[in-house]
Amino acid sequence: LSVLANILLTSVNVVLIVLILAERTTWGMSAADRETYSHFPTLTPGQFRRLRKIMQRSTTEETTELLREGQPVEDLMLILSPRINIEKEGKTYPISGPTFVGEIALLTGNKSSASVSLPKGGTVIKLPLRRLRARMSRSPALSNAIVALFGQELARKVADSAPMERALRRKTSS
């Protein structure tokens, strides 16, 4: 009986060690997944693997509008293109990628604040917002990691941005 108990305990420990390794290492990830994971530095490898199950990757065959200003946002997107076009209030601003779009809608529930288009040959990875929010609501650790990621991302975007006329008008009209 004690031999069976030792075998059971050893088996449980081995399973737990494997689960911990899977949660904390990129072991077993493909090169493409490791590259994608590098854009999610606040997530553990295990959290990324769980999100990977809902990711949809595609490459555009022609210029493609991903978001339209003022419209609901369906997906959080990681754009892996070297160039992305943002249109806001009728003005176009080219930005460089890789970058996330849809993160403000994820955090606030607001509609798209700009139109976003991806040139021919660009790659986009989509995470459906509804499914992402459901996973975040079930896992406070994942939710915290996502919020931390987009806090960093938004700070980077603000630091990289040039003042827009609307912000200048708002300040002068006060």
Query: Residues 44, 141, 102, 128: is their CA dihedral positive or negative?
Result: positive
pLDDT at 69 over 80: yes
Per residue in 2-47, pLDDT tens? 888 889 988 988 888 777 676 667 878 899 999 999 999 999 999 9
Which residue has tokens 């339209």?
68
> 3-state SS of the chain?
CHHHHHHHHHHHHHHHHHHHHHHHCCCCCCHHHHHHHCCCCCCCHHHHHHHHCCCEEEECCCCEEEECCCCCCCEEEEECCCEEEEEECCEEEEEECCEEECHHHHHHCCCCCCEEEECCCCEEEEEEHHHHHHHHHHCHHHHHHHHHHHHHHHHHHHHHCCCCHHHHHHHHHC
What's residue 112's pLDDT? 94
pTM above 0.95, yes or no: no
- Measured torsion, CA atoms of residues 128, 58, 105, 36, in degrees rounded to the nearest 10: 90
Per residue in 137-166, pLDDT tens? 999 999 999 999 998 888 877 777 665 555
What's residue 164's pLDDT? 55
